[in-house]
Amino acid sequence: MNDFPGWHGTTIIGVKKGGKIVVAGDGQVSIGQTIIKGTSRKVRRLSPGGQEVVAGFAGSTADAFTLLERLEKKLEASPGQLTRAAVELAKDWRTDKYLQKLEAMLIVTDGKILLVITGSGDVLEPEHDVTAIGSGGNYALAAARAMMETDLDAEEIARRSMAIAAEICVYTNGNLTVETIQ
């Protein structure tokens, strides 16, 4: 992947525990070393065809919105089948000349499964019921994995992990958007 400013602008985490899946993201948008906005919403609820899906994105905002629109169309074509819709989106992303240039990653969930979708054609379900993307993703992931065996619920793990990432990654802030789905 190219080094483009969009990668340095977010941390998104997904945590599955106790029958809930939580997706949380920070609000910071940076271009290079400049913070442009601190209150962006990079975690959203989608409702294609009446199904509820939560999605978080890292990377270029315009590219992520293009992918979210495509994901909604795939979900409308395959109601209740998030994995199938994600695989179809990943296939298009790899083969379509326009989509190949998009630089973003997605975490998506329908309350049953938690997936990461990448432009490399990957649709990944995390092994340890936690995943993270973006510039602070590795910090949040490590923190969350350490907390998974505690009595904390999914939301508290996501919030604490994001706080740790915000303390370490200069491209992540503590202004969170948190969405829970069961």
For residue 147, name the pLDDT band (cuts at 50, 70, 90).
Answer: very high
Residue 6 neighbours by CB distance under 10 Å: 22
Q: Report residue 139 as tokens.
A: 């910090």
Each domain of the chain, given as residue ranges in start order, spans: 5-181
Q: What is the pLDDT of residues 71-83, one digit of tens each?
A: 999 999 988 899 9
5-181 fold:
Glutamine Phosphoribosylpyrophosphate, subunit 1, domain 1 (3.60.20)
Per the annotation, the verdict on 172 as an active-site residue is: no
User: What's phi and psi for 139, nearest 5 deg?
Assistant: -70, -45
Amino acid at 109: T
Residue whose tokens read 């910071």:
28
**Do 134 and 28 form a contact (C-beta atoms < 8 A)?**
no
Judge whether residue 119 has pLDDT over 90: no
Identify the weakest region by mean pLDDT among 49-53, 112-116, 133-137.
49-53
Q: What is the pLDDT of residues 43-67, one digit of tens each?
A: 999 987 778 999 999 988 888 888 8
Residue whose tokens read 């601190």:
38
pTM (two decimals): 0.91
Please tell me the predicted confidence (pLDDT) of residue 96: 76
How many helices (H) and strands (E) would you count in the chain?
4, 11
Amino acid at 77: A
Range 87-109 average pLDDT: 85
Catalytic residue among 10, 11, 109, 172: 10
